[in-house]
Amino acid sequence: EARRLASIRPAGRLDPPLTLALDEAALICPVPLDSWTADMGGRGITIHIAAQSRAQLRQRWGPNGAAAILNNAGTLLVYGGTRDPEDLMAWSTLSGDRTEPNLTVRVPVLSPAQVSQLPERTVLVIKRSMPAAVGVVRMAWRRPDVRRAARANPMLPAQPQVEAAAP
């Protein structure tokens, strides 16, 4: 429906744009994401896809579909913890090489082991046209803009509501 609506708009784009946030996409989303990722960006439709592994993408969309989804992604965020050697080698390869001073060899920016052992809330960012970067993810409720919005609107919770577990 979003594609159809975009097609009847001037310039073929939705205005305002649409964002689809698909958590656990391979488990909940039996749609042709491999085709959508190639097509929707130009129509004003942004798709955020979260998956646990490349294997999940391959299982749902096959090897070519998984490759299309990953290649069409403008940005990949890779969290530590994976133990799949192929995934680790893929992320390490995408991180590129660096030249070590006084050495004549090139070494990976991040080895597969380093990708696997990223600390909690640390993320490897792989974005087109930019070197790989490592960053720290902040909880949204700790951001100053979110705190200001919560103070301005008492209906919004200032921080997550956590229920105490029974003893």
pLDDT for the residue numbered 166: 37
The tens digit of pLDDT for each residue in 112-156 reads: 999 999 999 999 999 988 899 999 988 888 888 888 888 888 776
- Mean residue pLDDT across the chain: 87
Residues whose CB is less than 8 angstroms from the CB of residue 37 and which lie 6 or more positions away in sequence, other chains included: 47, 49, 68, 69, 72, 73
Cα→Cα distances 139→117, 136, 147, 156, Å = 20, 10, 11, 16
pLDDT for the residue numbered 163: 43
Q: Are the beta carbons of 34 and 69 closer than 8 angstroms?
A: yes
pLDDT for the residue numbered 100: 75
pLDDT for the residue numbered 146: 85
Q: How far apart are CA 47 and CA 20, in angstroms?
A: 5
Mean per-residue pLDDT for 26-38? 90
Residue 164 has pLDDT above 50, yes or no: no
pLDDT for the residue numbered 160: 54
Query: 33: buried, middle or exposed (CB in 10 Å: 19+, 13-18, 0-12)?
Result: buried
The tens digit of pLDDT for each residue in 67-102 reads: 999 999 989 999 988 889 999 999 999 999 887 777
